[in-house]
Amino acid sequence: MSFWQRLPSKLHSFQAVGVPSRTVRPQTRIFLPRIRNVSTGVPMRSDFVKDLELQLKAMREKAAAALPGSEWTPFEVRHGLPPERVDVLIIGGGVVGWSIAYWLKRKTGPRKALRVLVVEKDPTYSQSSTVLSAGGIRQQFSLTENIQLSLASADFLKNINEHLSVLNEDPVDLQFNHSGYLFLASEKGAHIMEANYETQRHVGAKVKLLSPAQLKDMFPWINTDGVALASYGLENEGWFDPWTLLSALRRKALSMGVEQCLGEVTGFRYGVHSVENRELGRLQIRGITHTNIQMPNSIEVQPVESTVVINAAGANSGKVAKMVGIGLGPDDMISGISIPVEPRKRYIYVVHCPDGPGMDTPFLIDYSGVYFRREGLGANYITGVSPEETEEPDITNLDVDHEFFKDKIWPELAYRVPAFESLKVTSAWAGFYDYNTFDQNGLLGIHPLVRNMYFATGFSGHGLQQSPAVGRAVAELILDGGYKTLDLSALDIKRIIYEERVLESNIV
Amino acid sequence: MQVTRQTCQRVLWLGTRRYLSATPASQPTVISRFLLWLSQNFHDVEPLLNWSTTLRNRVVRRKNLFYGYAQRRYGENIAAAYYILSLKGAFRFAGQTEWFRPNDRGRFSYDFMSFPAATIEEIDLSGTPINCNGLDNLVTQVHLRRLTLRGCPEVDGWFLSRLHAFSESLEELDISHCPRITTGALCALIHLRKLKLLDISSLSSLQNPGLVHILIEEMLPHCLVTGTGYSQGLSSEDRMQTNSTAGLKAQATQPQAEENGQTSVQRHGEMH
Ligand SMILES: Cc1cc2nc3c(=O)[nH]c(=O)nc-3n(C[C@H](O)[C@H](O)[C@H](O)COP(=O)(O)OP(=O)(O)OC[C@H]3O[C@@H](n4cnc5c(N)ncnc54)[C@H](O)[C@@H]3O)c2cc1C
């Protein structure tokens, strides 16, 4: 980096010697003087000059690219081979993966050089949930752990520039919208909402209950028919730009010395040894020694040795776990229990409605499950709903089903907000939830059958908002051997073996 | 050679501007420019600069500590009053006409201690480093009617979202010249149902101030919103900086997404 920064001045001195000062002409954006075309008619000389000119041109371009205001970043995606050996290898460069990388570095400091490698298969993030999400953060959960995770993450976002600012780079602007979440409950769900509200207040979230009359007073555009109770987040709730968070985490982690590698994890090399466990009986414990990384556009597979592997592959993490043999054993054995995380397709529709609600639009979640929020100030909104378990769409592609909007979303939307009668769908996209089919909550920690693979996955629709705190928790597990700041043992992955579900009690 | 010097100066100046964009209130001093130049040429200076940022953050944090002890010992009102004065702010108790404020050197008399039962009705914290943590000391003042936060560098959306504590009393709010307030931050004002007067002049991070003004008036129908300092357009200096950082901004992933829903939508559209 410093080389490029020094380059312009080096070039100056070089030219000042080589070219008579007469020919130096100031230029506006590229700060290097341009040489006048010297055509002498002597071929030899002209060749030399041309050569020199070409070289200078190349250097000039590089130098201009390195100056502020250009596209150039000091961190190039490493197209070469990954290192042969690292301490921690993180599979998945989504928001969870980069957050863990950041916290690992942050906790060890620059001096204890822990080598961390993040492996991401898709540099464009075209299918990653992170960039396809709705970007919301809320504390209105029923599980203490989820509320705490979200509160801790909100605290991180609040102080994001203390965490993620990089010297000489612009400060991070998440474009956080402090509009809060508004949950609506019907008669049936009102008592659950009240119970959840008690838990949330107890854990420290700032939430307020609203009667239908208060609701109407605050949001006159809502049709309150059928609403028995509403709860509205006062602080730390809203939405932000997930892409900004992802790139800020990545930028900071890279500046702290985390390495990244472009390639897909296709398998592992591991050793197996048999141990006797008091609770679970005889177990075949695996220890991963190498992770095989398939390089892009080539048949080459590069093994990387590492002490610890972290599975943060989002919706794909169940598949990655299978590569170590988790879930491939006989059905009645522990080795037959697979990681219950699979991709589930969710649509988001962008609608335009000039008569729709304005700046007082919260992230509204109706008791029918339909949600919407504002997107910018131009009367655009995004909306969606989770389909019935029996109507899950095909996950082989990310195509959008527009009938789904007409059948399942629009009627509910227009009922709740009559102005939406006249909306127009302007665009739509789909993304994969990292859906935990077991209990729809995060799975953290070491799998009992693999000695050195940590999981951080299965967040099913709230992974983005939990990622900063999850990164810290996983880093604590690895470096301190246990949770230090937040006790997340309830979310331990071992619960899938003991069949202990931790479920959110939903109002929807 | 002159060209060289000019360009170097320009590079320096730009660099300084970028560095200082993190600390909007301060002016580039010779020392900070020199440090910046050093850091651009020598890696060893980087920790030093990082350290100074850390130090600055620590000062802000220390100034916004929660005065729990004072609160327990002398009561909420005295603790709040003490906090305001120690930030070099001023306040007025309900039922009194006289303002308490520190002198130019930040000293103040402890006369306010003789009114432990009086609640604070007006607070002026203009230009102070109050942030959302410091509000812990003030949220007890549920009779607060007027709050002036003109030109506070640390006041942002997280701060505004905590003002709901005064939702039953606050009538006048001045957040003009606060460099960190964005559109997303102003959404938090929805809780201030009693607000009658709101000043949002010269918020430098606000894009589309005209539209935002209208939308806020819609959101708070009983409130008179004043917002000046936008019609003149950009000053020449600002314009220069906008030009030079335009490329950088574009690369820093679609910053206008909030103001222009289309951008982010298009990005998502491209994704698949
Ligand atoms: C439509 C939608 C709306 C959502 N809304 C919200 C919301 O409002 N709030 C919220 O908090 N959350 C929301 N979420 C959920 C949130 O997006 C996810 O939980 C979160 O992004 C998970 O982050 P991740 O890093 O684990 O996964 P990802 O972002 O998917 O990252 C995983 C990465 O791993 C890579 N990868 C996978 N397999 C391999 C491999 N074998 N080798 C190398 N790399 C691999 C992938 O390319 C991917 O980039 C939403 C999700 C969707 C789909």
d(CA B256, CA B206): 11
Residue B59: pLDDT over 80: yes
Q: Is A42 exposed, middle or buried (0-12, 13-18, 19+ CB in 10 A)?
A: exposed
Q: Do A162 and B57 touch (CB under 8 A)?
A: yes
Instruction: Using the predicted structure, report yes or no on whether residue A492 has a pLDDT greater than 70.
Output: yes
Is A309 a residue whose pLDDT tops 70?
Answer: yes
Mean pLDDT of chain A: 87
Q: Please state, in angstroms and rounded to a whole number, the distance separating the CA atoms of residues B246 and A71.
A: 10
Query: What is the position in ligand 1's atom list of the atom closest to the CA of A430?
Result: 1
Q: Taking CB atoms and an 8 Å limit, are B43 and A2 in contact across chains?
A: yes
pLDDT recorded at residue B19: 40
- The answer to whether residue A345 scores a pLDDT higher than 70 is yes
Give me the mean pLDDT over the B132-139 stretch: 94
Q: pLDDT grade, residue B22 (50/70/90)? A: very low
Residues with Cβ within 8 Å of residue A25, at least 6 apart in sequence? A33, A34, A36
The C-alpha atoms of residue A216 and residue A208 are separated, in whole angstroms, by 15
pLDDT at A111: 67
B114-119 contacts: CB < 8 A, separation 24 or more?
B115/B77, B116/B74, B116/B75, B116/B77, B116/B78, B117/B77, B118/B77, B118/B93, B118/B94, B119/B77, B119/B93, B119/B94, B119/B143, B119/B144
Residues of chain A in contact with residue B268, where contact means CB-CB under 8 angstroms, are: 131-132, 348, 350, 427, 429
B259 close to A (CB below 8 A): yes
| Close Cβ partners of A73 (under 8 Å, ≥ 6 residues apart) | B251
Q: pLDDT over 90 for what percent of chain B?
A: 53
Interface test with B, best of A4, A178, A218, A219 (most B CBs within 10 A): A178
Give the pLDDT band of residue A45 (cuts 50, 70, 90): low
Residue B267 pLDDT exceeds 80: no
Residues 6+ apart with CB under 8 A from B62: none
- Residues contacting residue A295 through CB under 8 Å, at least 6 positions apart: A81, A262, A263, A301, A302
- Write down the pLDDT at residue B232: 43
Under the banding of pLDDT at 50, 70 and 90, the label for residue A44 is low
Is residue B24 over pLDDT 80?
no
Domain ranges of chain B: 2-61, 66-271
Starting at the edge strand that comes first in sequence, how are the strands of the sheet with A207-210 ordered? A207-210, A229-233, A181-185, A363-365, A371-374, A380-384, A341-352, A424-436
Which of A359, A396, A423 is the best substitution to test chain B (most B C-beta atoms within 10 A)? A359
Ligand 1 centroid to residue A152 C-alpha, Å: 20
Burial of B103 (0-12, 13-18, 19+ CB in 10 A): exposed
Q: Taking CB atoms and an 8 Å limit, are B187 and A178 in contact across chains?
A: yes
pLDDT at A106: 94
pLDDT of residue A278: 83
Lowest mean pLDDT among A130-139, A166-175, A382-391, B185-194: A166-175
pLDDT at A206: 95
Decide: A324 and A453 in contact? Cβ < 8 Å: yes
Q: What are the beta bridge partners of residue A171?
A: none
Let me know if B143 is exposed, middle or buried by CB neighbors in 10 A (0-12, 13-18, 19+). middle
Say if residue A160's pLDDT is above 60: yes
- pLDDT tens-digit series, residues A177-191: 999 999 999 999 999
b/e for B174-203, b at 16 or more Cβ within 10 A? bbbbbbbbbbbbbbbbbbbebbeebbbbbb
SS (H, E, C) chain B: CHHHHHHHHHHHHHHHHHHHCCCCCCCCCHHHHHHHHHHHHCCCHHHHHHHHHHHHHHHHHHHCCCCHHHHHHHCHHHHHHHHHHHCCCEEEECCCCCEECCCCCCCCCHHHHHCCCCCEEEEECCCCCCCCCHHHHCCCCCCCCEEECCCCCCCCHHHHCCHHHHCCCCCEEECCCCCCCCHHHHHHHHHCCCCCEEECCCCCCCCCHHHHHHHHHHHCCCCEEECCCCCCCCCHHHHHHHHHHHHHHHHCCCHHHCCCHHHHHHHHHHHC
Q: Does an H or E element contain A273, and which?
A: strand A264-277
- Tokens representing A111 are 């001096």
What Rg, from alpha-carbon coordinates, does chain B have?
22
- For chain A, say whether B52 makes contact (Cβ under 8 Å): no
Residue A482 DSSP SS3: coil
What is the C-alpha separation between A427 and A405, in angstroms, rounded? 12
Q: Is the dihedral of CA A200, A204, A210, A216 positive or negative?
A: negative
B-chain CB neighbours of A124 within 8 Å are: 271
Which pLDDT belongs to residue B37?
Answer: 77
pLDDT tens-digit series, residues A326-341: 999 888 888 899 999 9
The pLDDT of residue B27: 61
Size of interface A-B (CB pairs under 8 A): 197
Nearest-angstrom CA–CA distance, B254 and A442: 30
Tokens for A256? 């702290």
Categorize the per-residue pLDDT at B48 as very low, low, confident or very high, splitting at 50, 70 and 90.
confident
A434 confidence band (pLDDT: 50, 70, 90) = very high
Phi, psi of A339 (to 5 degrees): -70, 120
Ligand 1: distance of its center to the CA of A468 in Å? 14
When pLDDT is averaged across residues B141-166 and rounded to a whole number, the result is 95
Copy the structure tokens of residue A150. Answer: 């979200």
Bridge partner residues of A132 (DSSP): none
What is the model's pLDDT at position A86? 95
Instruction: State how far the Cα of B238 lies from the Cα of B230, in Å rounded to an integer.
Output: 13
Q: State mean pLDDT over A90-103.
A: 97
Band of residue A46 on the pLDDT scale cut at 50, 70, 90: low
- Confidence band for A283, pLDDT divided at 50, 70 and 90: confident
Say if residue A456's pLDDT is above 50: yes
Q: What is the pLDDT of residue A298?
A: 83
* pLDDT score for A69: 53
Query: How far apart, in whole angstroms, are the C-alpha atoms of residue A471 and residue A118?
Result: 13
Indicate whether A29 pLDDT > 50.
no
pLDDT at A131: 95
Q: State the DSSP string of A13-47.
A: HHHHHHS-GGG----SSS-SPPPP----S-HHHHH
Window B:161-180, CB contacts with A under 8 Å: 161-162, 164
ipTM, 2 decimals? 0.81
Is the pLDDT confidence value at B15 over 50?
no
- For the segment B184-205, the average pLDDT, to the nearest whole number, is 94
**Where does ligand 1 bind, in terms of residues with CB under 6 Å?**
A 91-97, 119-122, 125, 128-130, 132-136, 264-265, 312-316, 320, 346, 348, 431-434, 457, 459, 461-465
Distance separating alpha carbons of residues B122 and B93, to the nearest angstrom: 7
CB spacing of A69 vs B248 below 8 angstroms: yes
For residues A467 and A460, the answer to whether their CB atoms sit within 8 Å is: no
Q: Is the per-residue pLDDT at B1 higher than 60?
A: no
**pLDDT recorded at residue B29:** 77
pLDDT for residue A57 is more than 60: yes
Mean pLDDT on A424-432 = 96
Arithmetic mean of pLDDT, B100-116: 91
Chain B positions touching A255 (Cβ under 8 A) are none
Q: What is the mean pLDDT of residues B93-116?
A: 91
Task: Report yes or no: A375 and A406 within 8 Å, Cβ to Cβ.
Answer: no
Average pLDDT over residues A344-356: 96
Q: Find the range with the poorest average confidence among A14-23, A139-148, A231-240, B79-88.
A: A14-23
pLDDT of residue A32: 40
In this structure, what token pair is assigned to residue A326?
A: 């988790």
Window from A142-146, A298-302, A399-403 with minimum mean pLDDT: A298-302
Q: Which residues of B80-101 are buried (b: 16+ CB within 10 A; e: fewer)?
A: bbbbbbbbbbbbbbeeeeeebe
User: Given this model, what pLDDT does residue B47 score?
Assistant: 75
Q: B66-271 in CATH: which number?
A: 3.80.10.10
Question: Is A404's pLDDT higher than 50?
Answer: yes
pLDDT at B260 (0 to 100): 41
As a whole-number percent, the residues of chain A with pLDDT over 90 amount to 74
**Torsion over CA: A119, A85, A477, A281 (sign):** positive
Report which of A100, A106, A97, A246 is spatially closest to residue A163, judged by C-alpha positions: A106
Residue A220: pLDDT above 60?
Answer: yes
Q: Give the residue with greater pLDDT, B254 vs A198.
A: A198
The pLDDT, as a whole number, for residue A337 is: 92
Ligand 1 atom 10: the closest Cα is on which residue? A462
Q: Which residues of B touch A357 (CB under 8 A)?
A: none
Q: Does residue B14 register a pLDDT over 90?
A: no
Range of weakest confidence among A23-37, A365-379, A443-457? A23-37
Pocket probe mutation, ligand 1, options A99, A122, A130, A341, max atoms within 8 Å of Cβ: A130
Nearest chain B Cα distance for residue A394, angstroms: 16
Per-residue model confidence (pLDDT) at position A508: 59
The CA R_g of chain A, rounded to the nearest whole Å, is 27
CB contact under 8 A, A170 and B249: yes
CA pair distance A406, A486, nearest whole angstrom: 43
pLDDT band at B217 (very low <50, low <70, confident <90, very high): very high
Among residues A78, A90, A80, A91, which one has the least CA distance to residue A114? Answer: A90
| % residues pLDDT > 70 (chain A) | 87
Distance from CA of B259 to the nearest CA of A (A): 5
Identify which has the larger pLDDT, A56 or A319: A319
The Cα B204–Cα B237 span in angstroms is: 13
pLDDT reported for residue B249: 37
Concatenated DSSP letters for A128-150?
-HHHHS--EE----SSHHHHHHH
Q: What is the pLDDT at residue A37?
A: 42
Average pLDDT over residues A362-381: 95
Q: Which of B1, B22, B205 is facing A165, going by the closest CB pair?
A: B22
Sequence-distant (6+) residues with CB within 8 A of A23 are: A33, A35, A36
pLDDT for res A505: 86
State the distance from the centre of ligand 1 to the C-alpha of A464, rounded, in angstroms. 8
Locate the ligand 1 atom nearest the alpha carbon of residue A463 and give its number: 19
Considering Cα of A401, then A403, then A407, then A409, what sign does the dihedral take? positive
Where b means 16+ CB within 10 Å and e means fewer, B207-222 reads ebbebbbebbbebbee
Q: Is the pLDDT of residue B270 over 90?
A: no
pLDDT band for position B12 (cuts 50, 70, 90): very low
Residue A272's beta-bridge partner residues?
A286
Say what the pLDDT of residue B35 is.
73
Distance from chain centroid for Cα B265: 30
pLDDT of residue B199: 96
Expressed in angstroms and rounded, the spacing between residue B87 Cα and the centre of ligand 1 is 44
Mean predicted lDDT score pLDDT of chain B: 78
Q: pLDDT category, A288, cuts 50, 70, 90?
A: very high
Residue B5 has pLDDT above 80, yes or no: no
